[in-house]
Amino acid sequence: MRVVLVDAGGTNIGSVRYALQRLGTDAELTSDAQRIRAASHVILPGVGAAGPGMRMLREAGLVDVLRGLTQPVLGVCLGMQLLCEHSEEGDTECLGVVPATVRRFAESPGRRVPHMGWNALHVTACHPLVAGLREGDAAYFVHSYAVPTGDYTLASSEHGQPFAAVVAAGNFMGMQFHPERSAGLGAQLLRNFLSL
């Protein structure tokens, strides 16, 4: 197994890498297209905004590379949002491999944006990525934009409205929360991804 982390400037790369090391997997950090294509598993981490994230991928020549991958690909946090078609954040065209538009949470009295902290997950589909996930298990989120639920949703959560917490479209998968900060649940889901 050869796991790579796509180096797109995400600030959570170190913590994701350490979470994988705890599972016995040493992931290579790279922006080299050949190394990414040759990997058995590809992880696209990310923290920040959609516009700068996509700009870094374009400047590295990785947009078409990522779109063309056939091995398991996992987007984490912003990385999951970048898998979608479009983000309202900066009116950004994204990778387009998950048929969804990322939208900002609606602000209302008593509801803070960004959505930050632990929140329960609701399993909505059977898939190897969410094997062992129990109804109500909690994960750690930090985000202001979210993917609406749809046919691609494996697990959802709620922050004023339901949103997709785990998605899959073919070999492309994503977790809106931070698995590296979600204790045993996050470790289990990362382990599930590595077993695909």
**Is residue 136 packed enough to be buried (19+ CB in 10 Å), middle (13-18) or exposed (0-12)?**
exposed
Does 47 score more than 80 pLDDT?
no
The pLDDT tens digits for 90-118 are 999 999 999 999 999 998 888 899 999 99
**Mean pLDDT score of the chain:** 95
Decide if 180 is catalytic.
Answer: yes
Task: State percent of the chain over pLDDT 70.
Answer: 98
> Which pTM was predicted?
0.96
Identify the active-site residue in 94, 143, 159, 180.
Answer: 180
Give the pLDDT confidence score for residue 48 in this predicted structure. 84
- Strands of the 92-93 sheet, one edge to the other: 92-93, 84-87, 98-104, 145-146
Give the pLDDT confidence score for residue 8 in this predicted structure. 73
Please, what are the domains in the chain? 3-194 (3.40.50.880)
pLDDT (mean) for 71-77: 97
Identify the active-site residue in 77, 89, 143, 159.
Answer: 77
Q: Both ends of the chain: CA-CA distance in Å? A: 10
Decide if 126 is catalytic.
Answer: no
Give the pLDDT confidence score for residue 10 in this predicted structure. 61
- If one compares 167 and 7, the residue with the highest pLDDT of the two is 167
Decide if 94 is catalytic.
Answer: no
Give the pLDDT confidence score for residue 12 in this predicted structure. 65
Identify the active-site residue in 41, 143, 159, 178.
Answer: 178
